[in-house]
Amino acid sequence: GCRPIDNPPKINQVIISGIDNFVWADSVSVSWSIEDLDRDFFETGARIMLHQNSTESSFFPIANCNYDSITEESNEFVCIWNIPEDLPIFDITKKEMHIQIHVKSLNRSPEANISPLYFDDNTVFTSKWINPLFEDDENKGMKDEDWNVTQRRALVWGIVGLIGVGIFMLRIWSSNNDVLNDKSGEIKRNFFGSFDNHADLGESE
């Protein structure tokens, strides 16, 4: 028999607010609706996409908001992201972003169109909020530079000190070696002198 054609869901009425002069300063929200003529269950959501380059050809999500197993009766959706709660752990200052909405039908029939559908809003924005932790890291980096200079100086002085200790120990060893040589010569002289005395005594007898 014939199978009915599945009508894929559609993303409509996208509204984004909270972007002032292309800057996400406090909170940003997006609302949208989903139309599914077959009244199938679906899942939908929105996410903030961070651009990896200025051509917008490569991006990845840094904040997500999802609705699962939704029916046509509740087809209006809102997602809100706040600064700093919804920012990633890495710095995104002055990085370009945009909002993407997605929907996927949960129809299980063989003719169902279950491929995800995407809507990428063309409003590109940035964020100027600076995480205090990153500011501390920058200051720490400057301190680390001074500390590295101090470490290098300490290393140089340590090497000089080791060389000095080595020279000092070499002199001590040399002096002790001379003393041992002198004592060895004296012992030899005493030994042979004693031997000669014994020989003289034997001859006199």
As a whole number of angstroms, the distance between CA 63 and CA 165 comes to 61
Of 95 and 113, more confident? 95
Give the model's confidence band at 158: pLDDT under 50 very low, under 70 low, under 90 confident, else very high. confident
pLDDT tens digits along 15-24: 999 999 999 9
Of 97 and 151, more confident? 97
pLDDT tens digits along 97-141: 999 999 999 988 887 888 999 999 999 999 988 877 766 555 555
Does residue 191 register a pLDDT over 80? no
Q: Can you give the pTM of this predicted structure?
A: 0.62
Please tell me the predicted confidence (pLDDT) of residue 201: 46
As a whole number of angstroms, the distance between CA 128 and CA 64 comes to 20
DSSP the chain: -PPPPPPPPEEEEEEEEEEETTEEEEEEEEEEEEE-TT---EEEEEEEEEESSTTSSSEEEEEEEEEEEE-GGG-EEEEEEETTTTS-SS--BT--EEEEEEEEE---STT---S-EEEE----BBB----HHHHHHHHHHHHHHHHHHHHHHHHHHHHHHHHHHHHHHHHHHHHHHHHHHHHHHHHHHHHHHHHHHHHHHHHH-
pLDDT tens digits along 53-92: 766 678 999 999 999 877 666 678 999 999 999 998 888 8
133, two tokens? 């932790």
Please tell me the predicted confidence (pLDDT) of residue 132: 75
